[in-house]
Structure 1
Amino acid sequence: MARSGLYKSEVQKAREALLARGQRPSIDAVRIELGNTGSKTTIHKYLRELEEEDGIGEQKRASLSEALTDLVQRLATRIQEEADEQYAARTNVIEAKAVEQQAAMQSIEAENARLHTQIAAIETASRQFEAALASAQEALSRETIARQLAKQEANSLSQRLAENEAHRRSLEEKHQHARDALEHYRLAAKEQREAESRRHELQVQQLQAELRQANQTLVGKNDEITILNRDGARFMAELTHTRQAVRTAEENAKRQFDEIDRLHAIQSAYGQLSDQMIEHQSRVAELQNQLASSLGEQDKQSSQLRNLELALAQARTQVDMQEKMNVQLQELLATGYRPMPSHSQSSSQSQGELPPR
């Protein structure tokens, strides 16, 4: 478009510079001298005014061709104004549509950024969930191993307890046999003493010797009984310790069962997290579909924007062609172009003339 705000003094300086260099001050030459700025219509108007001020236009005003020139110039000016108005209107419409398309593209880009941010947050949450799941699985594996070890220890303690119980019963049976034997021996000795008291005095020494031997045997039996009592006390202490170990193992097993319940709760939470992850994945797929739809809409709007730019280029081309036509008309008028008179004008002129004498 031509530069607005062109002054007549600027056109006059450019015209004088061309005349000083011996060049013809045409519209294109003046416009080039002005730096390819200014409307050609405005430059033509100012050139005509300067020529009229110099007295050049006074010689052409009286002719019929000058009236036609003025008419053509006004027509060219009107065409140029209408072309400028249409160009400005189309430019405003196209620029408004371009602004709308730009705003829509910015909105789509913001939505795409938001979707990318949301997808990144979902992926971060998914990675955190996978890490928590791996940690929970590792803890479950450790607890399972600990539970198996506790079961093995409890089985071992139970086996040892059964062995100790069998040994204790064996010791009690031996102790009872010893008591029974001692009691039987005492009864036998009493009966023997009662029988020997009725026997002859000669057998007293033999009985005393046998009694001493029996006493020695009894001392040995008493020592065996003391040893058995010590073993029984030791086994009772071991049995008490074993029972404490069994109670400790039962408490550990109870804690293991509580931990297993907690792990079951963790597994249930893992199932819920898996369902949430599936929902997040479906949401991610939906967001990706929305993103693809947004990109398709963006491509469609980009195509519309390219069509608008093509229409703008065509409008500019049309305006340039109109300006070229106006310039050609103005140059024809400036070179003194005279249109041929019509048939009616020639006949009227011939009727107004007198025949020669």
Structure 2
Amino acid sequence: MARGISDQDVFEAADALLGRGERPTIERVRQELGRGSPNTVNRHLDAWWAALSDRIRGKSAESLPPPLVNLCRQLYEGMRDQAAVEARRVASEIESRLETDRRELEAQLSAVVVERAAVSSASDKFMQEISALRARTEELVEERAQLQAQIAELNAANRRAEASSQADKATLTTLQSQHMAEVQRIRAQWEGNETRWLKEIDHLRDEAKRARAQHEKEVRTLQERLRLADQSLAASLKEKGTLQTELARIDRSLQKEREARLRAEAAHAATRAVVSRLRPTSPRGGHPRPLKKPSAPPQ
């Protein structure tokens, strides 16, 4: 039956890898131990990383092996470079989103201009139709006046015929009958035309009402679309402000990261100076004695 691994096993394997100048990873620790599941190794390795700084601070400068110091420096520089790369990537994505939003806003503004032009064109067309209907109505009124003038002329001719045909009663009666028949015919024609004209005028009025209603409907629709476009524009401008605020926050985080790096480099330089002063020399003034490899810390 396979034996499980403890945190002590993972700590010793990670210390051995670090002593050889290798970065302890889940796979390397498993290879060092020859067993262990990735989840178990990962849990114990996280604890090892968390305790590493305390273990290093707990040791004197003389007991720190150079590979450990170099590896810690490399880990710090790697994390610093990775943070800078990530910050540049986020800034690039934000700039790309801002550019995309700008293009969309320009397209929406162009669509609004086109719609406004369409509304103006529809209004001009409606006014032209109204003018044509008004002209047609005036023509019908003029025709009606002409027919009424004709009837008046016939009535006058009838009266003159009655005055001039007293001598010939039969002729007058015949002429009167003819004139009356003609008047009735013209009157019937006029009444028929008047009815037709009234119907046509009513039809034209209905057409004008429908055209006006359609125009008002189209205007309301275009106004609604314009309102929605204005709302979309306001939302896009608000999102742009949010993105700019996020970019400013990232810039502040990068500034804090740079300040932390400078403080860490200053602390590292001070530590190296202390190590240089504390490093012992040989009794004959030769090369400094090598540091003893520290034993594994008690768990």
1:289 is matched with: 255
Q: Which residue in 1 is equivalent to 2:130? A: 161
Gaps of 5+ in 2: 1-58, 288-299
Distance 1:186 1:195 in 2: 14
Residues 243-281 of structure 1 show CA distances to partners (whole Å, capped at 9, x for unaligned) of 323212211111211222222222322332332233233
Cα RMSD of the aligned pairs, angstroms, is 4.3
**Aligned-pair distance for 1:171?**
1.4
- Report Cα offsets for 1:51-104 as digits up to 9, x if no partner: xxxxxxxxxxxxxxxxxxxxxxxxxxxxxxxxxxxxx97630x449955x8557
**Any conservation in 2 of the 1:119–1:284 contact (CA below 8 Å)?**
no
How many Å separate the matches in 2 of 1:310 and 1:247?
94
- Residue number in structure 1 paired with 2:89: 120
Rounded to whole Å, the distance in 1 between the matches of 2:67 and 2:258 is 24
Query: Which one has a bigger Cα radius of gyration?
Result: 1
Residue number in structure 2 paired with 1:350: none
Identity %: 9
Partner of 1:132: 101
Match of 1:149 among 118, 133, 149: 118
Q: Under a length normalisation based on structure 2, what TM-score does the superposition of the two structures give? A: 0.57
Aligned to 1:275: 241
Q: 2: CA distance between counterparts of 1:223 and 1:290?
A: 99
1:90-239 pair list within 5 angstroms:
91-92=62-63, 94-95=64-65, 99=69, 103=72, 106=75, 109-110=78-79, 113-114=82-83, 116-117=85-86, 119-176=88-145, 178-179=147-148, 181-182=150-151, 184=152, 188=156, 191=159, 195=163, 199-200=166-167, 202=168, 204-205=170-171, 208-209=174-175, 212=178, 215=181, 219=185, 226=192, 230=196, 233-234=199-200, 236-239=202-205
How far 1:292 sits from its partner (Å)? 2.8
Asked whether the 8 Å contact 2:123–2:215 carries over to 1, the reply is yes
Question: Aligned partners of 1:90, 1:291: CA distance in 2, in Å?
Answer: 26
Q: Which consecutive residues of structure 1, in runs of 5 or more, have no partner in the other structure?
A: 1-87, 325-357
TM-score, structure 1 length as denominator?
0.49
Which structure has the higher relative contact order (CA within 8 Å, separation 6+)? 1
Asked if the contact 2:101/2:236 (under 8 Å) is kept, the reply is no
* Distance apart, 1:155 and its partner CA: 2.3
Specify the code of the residue in structure 2 equivalent to 1:149. Answer: A
Tell me the amino acid that sits aligned with residue 282 of structure 2.
V
Pairing 1:319–2:285 present: no
Aligned residue pairs total 229
Q: 1:266 aligns with which of 232, 251, 263?
A: 232
**Contact residue 137 and residue 201 of structure 2 kept, 8 A:** yes
1:186 shift after superposition: 6.8
Hey, what does 1:56 align to over in structure 2?
A: none
Q: Distance in 1 between matches of 2:87 and 2:286?
A: 55
Contact 2:161 2:172 (8 Å CA) reproduced: no
